[in-house]
Amino acid sequence: MAGLAPTFGRGAMTNHWVDIRNADLILVMGGNAAEAHPVGFRWVMEAKEHNDARLVVVDPRFNRTAAVADYYAEIRTGTDIAFLGGLISYLIETDQIHHEYVRAYTDASLIVREEFGFEDGLFTGYDAENGEYDKETWQYEYSDEGHALRDDTLQHPRCVFQLMRAHFSRYTLDVVSSVCGTPRDKIQHVWDMVAATVVDDKTMTILYALGWTQHSIGSQIIRTAAMLQLLLGNMGMRGGGVNALRGHSNIQGLTDLGLLSDLLPGYMTLPEADEQDYEAYILDRSRPDLLPGEVSYWRYYERFHVSLMKAWFGDAATEANNWCYDWLPKLSETLYDVIHTFERMSHGEITGYICQGFNPLAAFPHKAKTSAALSRLKYLVVIDPLRTETAEFWKNHGEFNDVNTAEIDTEVFRLPTTCFAEEDGTIVNSSRWLQWFWAAAPPPGEALPDTAILAGIFLRIQQMYRNEGGAFSDALLNLSWPYRYPAEPSPNELAREYNGWALEDVYDEQRNLVCRAGEQVEDFGMLRADGSTASGCWIFAGCWTDEGNQMIRRDNSDPYGVGQTLGWAWSWPANRRILYNRASARPDGTPWSERKAVVWWNGNRWVGNDVPDFPVESAPTVAQGPFIMNQTGRGQFFARDRMVEGPFPEHYEPFETPIANNPMHPSNPLAKNNPGARVFEQDRANFGSFEEFPYAATTYRLTEHFHYWTMHNRLNAIAQPEKFVEIGESLANELGIAKGDRVRVSSKRGYIEAVAVVTKRIRPLQVAGRTVHQIGIPLHWGYLGETKRAHLTNTLTPSVGDANTQTPEFKSFLVRVDKL
């Protein structure tokens, strides 16, 4: 997601599942939708069958998506920036870009500061000692009014377009082939197929998933794809977009609600330690327009923030105390992500840990480190419907979990909770739809819903503070708790709270009453910064209005026949289904193509088959840009200071690479791997070299399993009973491994054993003059449940993350393989 927001403004799938059917070309890279999202993938097949669409797959393995593709090209894991960067250069040099779209809807014409530069793999401002950038020069040149300078002819040598052109010019066909290991003719074929979507009435959609995020350069891979779609004019269009297929049922919702160390609900952010002044905190986030008159919707940040504080602290939040600003925790570190946390835990710096439906022992990289870290906790609380390896990390399971139980002094609580079938509530699917569901039966035994467990713990802590006093307690004692049964807040009450309501009558600028005190707000436009509204998550405003719960809606009619179903469930923001859909129309407000139309200007307002993602009365003559969350109103080729490792994507090798150096920068060791990545000392010591571990490994899902849950289900255990790894035929021959042999796969961090599947579907690649073999390792199976007992895959994986998100590099690491 960290690649999408700096480009388009929001970190979410831009289009939706059914809209895939409107595409003319579907590019699947960094994902395997046929396997991991099989029912959503039907819309790809629908596009092929009824829209004459072509499907292209670029992946290390000839996977299940490739099996039904029109074209497949193999690629070395972790080299997608080179593949797509080369494509961007090819489009520019052969003049196959959407000129009018690029000029009107992107930042291509904006002029960048003179001091900005890029040399031998590093952007200006690199501090090699600390491994960090000073991003001061990564900016446009601004006028005295604070607006970016521009050259609409795109000829200025420092305009974004020319800088981008120069940046990617190094990614020639030969270079890309050498880095990626993809044969030249296949690269050219894919590039030509993609280039054909530059015309007005053709769109390409890009589907990706964890195959892009789980790299040390993951966010920049996604950005490269986003830039590609801007160049082709495929954003905001039917059948276009960059579609992040999220991995879990409600990862989108948890991210929307800010359950990440640095976030508050609705993509607001916690203050940093040195942001002591409330007004400065708000000012820094109320992003002004960088081009005159743009929407730049974050300018209303304070409305969303104050409404959140009113939802949390009620009457205690007043203008006089800056809406309880001091009560919010302030961050001393950029992120307290899981790699950071388990590093601290391994040094004994964490006392307690609560795992709510999360199984870190199986899900985090470098299991031995995770296990040692958990052993240093004083207490661990696991809230889960199922037995998990994490809850039993202290139990000896022989070679699968060889720990000394008596020496582990962690007190572990295991609390049974309801599963989806036993509770009411909503989850947000990848398309941003909030769908309400109902409990069908009570949970087994004494299991309780998570809300009752959380409330039970919280109310006890609160009582202890009332009785005993203790550390700072204003925030926890004043937390608004308006629930009918305090020990078990109901899903209805919580949903109404994150939607929000008026505390006093709310008026618009013309003094018209828009919402009476006590009424639910209808959209985030009603929220105010004066304390007269409360809303727990501004982007969800509109999901539960005075007309009732919008998330239960069940009208699947599709009057325009384009797959929008606006009456089914509710989609954030404001029930818009295709983000940035203003860009589906020309600057003059007419659709680029009738086939692709989403919204258009009818002379008075924006109308169409979707809710406009744009001010509905903003006339084309006003010329506001379609990317309303961005300060420029435009899609950003140049990320400015919003990315850690640079405003343009650059290829860097995985931290465990099967080749000696970065072919883009062979003589600069600082540019071998992502220069902005954070690596802890003990993790660096645990990286292997290609001399010792020669094969590139990648992990993935199977359609029959879901992580470490479904091994507890009999049906799924029957479908895929035993751990296996995939090895290409030529490597298997070299190592004397036959189909069905048991093998040991080892990395610097440990080993697993599994059955070898010898396959033609993984081919050796020629990379920088060397033959590279890739090994495929499904992430499933463990030693609990109904499948055959097996080692956890994350025994092997390295503990290093993407420089922006710290998502672990599960998709590229080094192993060796031995026949048992």
Partner 1 sequence: MTLKVTRRQFFKLGAVGMATSSMAMMGFAPEPAVASIRHFKLTGAKITRSNCTYCSVGCGVLLYSRGDGAINSIDNIYHVEGDPDHPVSRGSLCPKGAGLLDYIQSESRLKYPQVREPGTHEWKRISWDEALTRIARHMKDDRDANFVDQDAEGNTINQWTTTGMLAASASTNETAYLSQKIARSLGMVVLDNQARV
Q: What angle do CA 489, 491, 494 make, to 5 degrees?
A: 70
Q: How many residues bind partner 1 (CB under 8 A)?
A: 162
Q: Is 660 in the site for partner 1 (CB under 8 A)?
A: no
Binding mask 28-67 for partner 1 (x = CB under 8 A): --------xxxxx-xx------------------------
CA distance 41 to 53: 14
CA distance 93 to 79: 22
Query: Positive or negative CA dihedral for 158, 163, 166, 167?
Result: positive
Q: Is 394 in the site for partner 1 (CB under 8 A)?
A: yes
- Residue from the set 372, 412, 574, 623 that interacts with partner 1 by CB under 8 A: 412
Within 161-180, the residues that bind partner 1 by CB under 8 A are: none
Q: Is 268 in the site for partner 1 (CB under 8 A)?
A: no
Measuring CA to CA, which residue among 7, 47, 22 is closest to residue 584?
22
Q: What does the block give as tokens for 272?
A: 């940093």
The nearest distance, CB 644 to partner 1, in angstroms, is 15
Nearer CB in complex with partner 1: 701/773: 701
| Residue whose token pair is 């003589």 | 667
Strand boundaries in 467-517, DSSP class E? 501-502, 506-507, 513-515
Q: Is 385 in the site for partner 1 (CB under 8 A)?
A: yes
- Residue from the set 45, 154, 193, 251 that interacts with partner 1 by CB under 8 A: 251
Q: Is 484 in the site for partner 1 (CB under 8 A)?
A: no
Q: Cβ of 520: how many Cβ atoms within 10 Å?
A: 21
Q: Is 716 in the site for partner 1 (CB under 8 A)?
A: yes
Within 415-434, the residues that bind partner 1 by CB under 8 A are: 415-417, 419-431, 433-434
| Residue whose token pair is 């004397």 | 736
CA 388 to chain centre: 25
Instruction: Specify the stretch interacting with partner 1 by CB under 8 A; choose among 445-453, 595-603, 737-745, 751-759.
Output: 445-453
- Residue from the set 154, 193, 199, 254 that interacts with partner 1 by CB under 8 A: 254
| β partners of residue 380 | 353, 412
Q: Is 315 in the site for partner 1 (CB under 8 A)?
A: no
Nearer CB in complex with partner 1: 618/699: 699
- Residue from the set 32, 65, 203, 435 that interacts with partner 1 by CB under 8 A: 435
- In three-state secondary structure terms, 612 is coil
- Residue from the set 8, 17, 212, 638 that interacts with partner 1 by CB under 8 A: 17
Q: What does the block give as tokens for 99?
A: 């000129």
- Residue from the set 509, 512, 715, 736 that interacts with partner 1 by CB under 8 A: 715
Within 129-148, the residues that bind partner 1 by CB under 8 A are: none
Within 103-122, the residues that bind partner 1 by CB under 8 A are: none
The residues, any chain, with a CB within 8 Å of residue 356's CB and separated by 6 or more, are: 383, 384, 450
Q: What is the bridge-based pairing of β-strands 599-601 and 411-416?
A: unpaired
CB 80 within 8 A of CB 86: no
- Residue from the set 4, 18, 316, 541 that interacts with partner 1 by CB under 8 A: 18
Q: Is 465 in the site for partner 1 (CB under 8 A)?
A: yes
Within 741-780, the residues that bind partner 1 by CB under 8 A are: none
Q: What angle do CA 17, 538, 419 make, to 5 degrees?
A: 60
| Residue whose token pair is 């769109």 | 203
Binding mask 673-712 for partner 1 (x = CB under 8 A): ------------------------------xxxx--xx-x
Q: Is 375 in the site for partner 1 (CB under 8 A)?
A: no
- In three-state secondary structure terms, 365 is coil
Binding mask 210-249 for partner 1 (x = CB under 8 A): -----------------------------------xxxxx
Q: Is 479 in the site for partner 1 (CB under 8 A)?
A: yes
172: which DSSP letter? -
The nearest distance, CB 494 to partner 1, in angstroms, is 4
H helical segments located in 181-217: 184-195, 210-213
Binding mask 274-293 for partner 1 (x = CB under 8 A): x-x-----------------
- In three-state secondary structure terms, 83 is helix
CA distance 771 to 321: 65
Nearer CB in complex with partner 1: 455/765: 455
- Residue from the set 192, 315, 319, 326 that interacts with partner 1 by CB under 8 A: 326
Nearer CB in complex with partner 1: 308/765: 308
Q: What is the bridge-based pairing of β-strands 242-244 and 263-264?
A: unpaired
- Residue from the set 69, 73, 260, 754 that interacts with partner 1 by CB under 8 A: 260
The residues, any chain, with a CB within 8 Å of residue 525's CB and separated by 6 or more, are: none
Within 773-802, the residues that bind partner 1 by CB under 8 A are: 784-786
Q: What is the bridge-based pairing of β-strands 724-728 and 774-778?
A: antiparallel
The nearest distance, CB 461 to partner 1, in angstroms, is 5
Within 566-585, the residues that bind partner 1 by CB under 8 A are: 568
- Residue from the set 808, 812, 813, 814 that interacts with partner 1 by CB under 8 A: 808
The residues, any chain, with a CB within 8 Å of residue 655's CB and separated by 6 or more, are: 216, 673, 677, 679, 687, 798, 800, 809, 813
Within 521-550, the residues that bind partner 1 by CB under 8 A are: 536-537, 540
Q: What does the block give as tokens for 776?
A: 């495929």
Within 331-360, the residues that bind partner 1 by CB under 8 A are: 331-332, 336-338, 341, 349-358, 360
Q: Is 154 in the site for partner 1 (CB under 8 A)?
A: no
CA atoms within 13 A on the CB side of 305: 25
